[in-house]
Amino acid sequence: MQKFIVELIGVFTQRDLPEDYEQFVEYKATIENKEVTDQDKIAVLRVKDTTSYQILFLNDYNSMDEIDKEIDETLDGKIYNFNIRKILEGHLNA
C-alpha cells in the first residue's frame, strides 16, 4: 500500500514563521512540552492534497531515519522527493 506523500512547505525560525503556521507550531510545542526559541529550526510539512500539517523541530533530530520514522508512524506518510530530503538533511547537518 502506498504511503501519503509529504511535501515541505519550508524551514523557518520562530521569528520568520508565517502566521498561518503559528498555531500548528504552538500545538506541537505544547504536546512535546517544548519551549521554542529563535535557534530552533522548524520544518513545516504538508500531506499532499490535504490541509494536514506536520511540524518538526529539526534540532531534536539526529538523522533522516528519525524523521522518516516519525512521518511513517504519525502520518502513514513518506518523503518521496529527493530535493526535500536533501534540504532537510542540510538543516540537520548544519
> How confident is the model over 19-57, as pLDDT tens digits?
999 999 999 999 999 999 999 999 999 999 999 999 999
Q: From CA 1, how far away is CA 81, in angstroms rounded?
A: 18
Identify the three-state secondary structure at position 10: strand
Instruction: Give the pLDDT band of residue 2 (cuts 50, 70, 90).
Output: confident
pLDDT in tens, 65-78: 999 999 999 999 99
- For the record, the C-alpha cell of 18 comes out as 508565517
* Domain ranges, ordered by start, for the chain: 4-93
Q: What CATH number labels 4-93?
A: 3.30.160
* Runs of H (alpha helix) within 3-79: 22-31, 64-75
